[in-house]
Amino acid sequence: MKRLLTAAVAATALLLTGCAGSKPEPAVTASGSGLTYPVTVGAVTLTAQPAKIVSLSPTATEMLYAIGAGPQVTAVDDQSNFPADAPKTDLSGFKPNAEAIAAKDPDLVVLSGDADGIVAQLGKLSIPVFVSPAAADLDDTYQGITDLGMLTGHQAEAGALNERMAADIDKIVKSVPARSTPLSYYYELGPDLYSATSKTFIGSVLGLFGMTNIADAADPAGKLGGYPQLSQEALVTANPDTIFLADTKCCQQSVATVQARAGWASVTAVSKGQIYPLDDDIASRWGPRTVDLVQVVADALAKVPAT
């Protein structure tokens, strides 16, 4: 199953243009926002507050609803399952179809990457597109929320969400006592032992707790994009103190399935029962529910005895 977390393809590209020599559009104020259009974010300029947004990124969908732009969202992709009332369709962000997207008559399309050159395809149809790429760290998350707030007329709500997220994450991290010896961890993307290093978004989040990531040794220079496949021998030798499973939905992995793996009995995380299942969706997105992920990790670490 294609994992959204590893789809860190980022490109920002579409220029919304008018006819040469045309008169400038008059300034328009978004209802109740105090934000005046036209608004430019990156290469995208909107002359009015978008009323028909198509989101082909589950993370962007969550961000849009969290900043109050949900009523402007008229269609989302087949992977956008949160919030539950988002207008889910059979549109795909992995294999986008320009004609199908255009049929929704959007005045803004939000993507996480330029799959199959969809940005240029939609550009030929004069459909404005904003690429909100996968985040490498929390600063990127806050920037993505800010950008969507600007484009949708919810700048104040976006700023408030960022402040709330930062405060909540800081509070949760500080609630976990520091350890004299840092815990090590293995973060599993799939039972084929693909993992994420400290140079990825998820690695930066878990790094807030001062833990050591055993996957770092498998991709020290980042040549694998931060997502190396570990060998069982290397994993057992690294002997992580904790294991976090981000493949509970896609691959039906659990504490029991990990404990049953041949040769893993000697791994500290297995022998001590320090294996923690995560919600795949929350763990693979970089939006508002990152706070929930941080809380789950904090709760897990609280269960690990001090040494």
Q: Which amino acid is at 233?
A: E
HSE (CB half, 13 Å, CA atoms) of 9? 15
128-150 residue pLDDT tens: 999 999 999 999 999 999 999 99
Query: Mean pLDDT, to the nearest integer, of 239-256?
Result: 98
Token output for 115 = 């799959």
Which CATH fold topology does 28-167 show?
A: Rossmann fold (3.40.50)
**Percent over 70 (pLDDT), the chain:** 89
Token output for 71 = 């009523």
Tell me if domain 28-167 and domain 178-302 are identical in fold: yes
Q: What are the angstrom distances between the C-alpha of 159 and each of 92, 119, 126, 154, 166?
A: 29, 28, 30, 9, 11
User: Which residues, 6 or more positions from 268, have their beta carbon under 8 angstroms from its beta carbon?
Assistant: 239, 240, 241, 274
Examine residue 83 and say whether the peptide bond preceding it is cis (omega within 30 degrees of 0). Answer: yes
Token output for 282 = 């929350």
206-228 residue pLDDT tens: 999 999 999 999 999 999 999 99
At 28, the pLDDT band (50, 70, 90 cuts) reads: low
Residue listed under structure tokens 């998350």: 141
The enclosing H or E element of 109 equals: strand 108-111
Mutual angle of helices 138-152 and 155-174, in 10-degree steps: 160
What's the confidence (pLDDT) of residue 13?
Answer: 30
DSSP output for 180-247: SSPPEEEEESSTT-BB--TTSHHHHHHHTTTPEEGGGGGSTT-TTTT-PBPPHHHHHHH--SEEEES-
HSE (CB half, 13 Å, CA atoms) of 58? 21
The domain locations on the chain are: 28-167, 178-302
Q: What are the backbone dihedrals phi and psi of residue 141, each rounded to the nearest 5 degrees, phi first?
A: -60, -50
For the beta carbon of residue 77, count every other beta carbon within 10 angstroms.
26
Query: Mean pLDDT, to the nearest integer, of 10-25?
Result: 34
The pLDDT mean for the chain works out to 91
What's the confidence (pLDDT) of residue 100?
Answer: 98
Query: Mean pLDDT, to the nearest integer, of 94-105?
Result: 97
At 17, the pLDDT band (50, 70, 90 cuts) reads: very low
Query: Mean pLDDT, to the nearest integer, of 183-211?
Result: 97
Question: Helix-strand-coil percent breakdown of the chain, rounded to 5?
Answer: 35, 15, 50
Q: Is the pTM of this model over 0.85?
A: yes
Q: Does domain 178-302 have CATH number 3.40.50.720?
A: no
Residue listed under structure tokens 């929320």: 145
Q: What are the angstrom distances between the C-alpha of 88 and each of 13, 91, 114, 214, 220?
A: 25, 8, 20, 38, 39
